[in-house]
Structure 1
């Protein structure tokens, strides 16, 4: 375990930010949030994946952000997500709420997906481990990206 900690610059309180393959598009700056009850895909990332708005399923439920602001929901979409590289990978369909608001993240992965991966997250090691057919797969968080996202969010405020 201590070998895993060598990859991380201590002390810190950084978020777990990872890269995943969503619908065959490498998507960086994905926040892992154990508190989120849904998965979010921000509209700019949705556009980068080159998906059409006609592929979204409409949704008529309001979403209120942390500051009490209403967030524009574009719709929902289910997309294949690949975690890590073969042979230590898992592939799952993930249902995202597509939102049109500013964020330094491209997406937020919450509890439903983490549970479907049977994932264990570690903020200390900035990593996620999950069972695969022959052992344990792991995705390492990107500490530099976490700090860049944090600073970008501060600048937006």
Structure 2
């Protein structure tokens, strides 16, 4: 997955509809999720539903699927970082976590992070 935001201040896993469709998932795969979400600018979004998917860090993660503009494809959160035993750095756009007897590293791109931030601000 590209353009994934690591949000240390949230507990909700969000998946945007373009990634949902890109994974060849169908709306019939969703379960009901009836709570609206509030965007950064204060507008409410009604989720399409929720889907449980396996991830390497957790046996399963419940993603809330939304149809809204975002430069990101998904948002992962504190519980994901905690499950990995990870440390994230916004300065270096990295997440480091133990894996067996070594330290794994997920490296983002500062230029892509800047583009996403600019796109979100301009939208």
Whether the TM-score (by the shorter chain) exceeds 0.5 is yes
- Whether 1:57 aligns to 2:31 is yes
Instruction: Name the counterpart of 2:21.
Output: 47
Structure 1: runs of 5 or more not aligned: 1-26, 83-89
- Whether 1:100 aligns to 2:74 is no
Instruction: Name the counterpart of 1:109.
Output: 76
Q: Deviations along 1:82-124, whole A, 9 cap, x unmatched?
A: 4xxxxxxx56532211111111100011111111111111123
CA RMSD of aligned residues (A): 1.5
- Whether 1:32 aligns to 2:26 is no
State the alpha-carbon separation in 2 of the partners of residues 143 and 81 from structure 1.
25
**Aligned ranges 1:110-129 → 2 under 5 Å:** 110-129=77-96
Structure 2: runs of 5 or more not aligned: none
What TM-score, normalized to structure 2? 0.91
Matched residue count:
123
What TM-score, normalized to structure 1? 0.72
Give the CA deviation at 1:125.
2.3
Select the structure of larger CA radius of gyration. Answer: 1
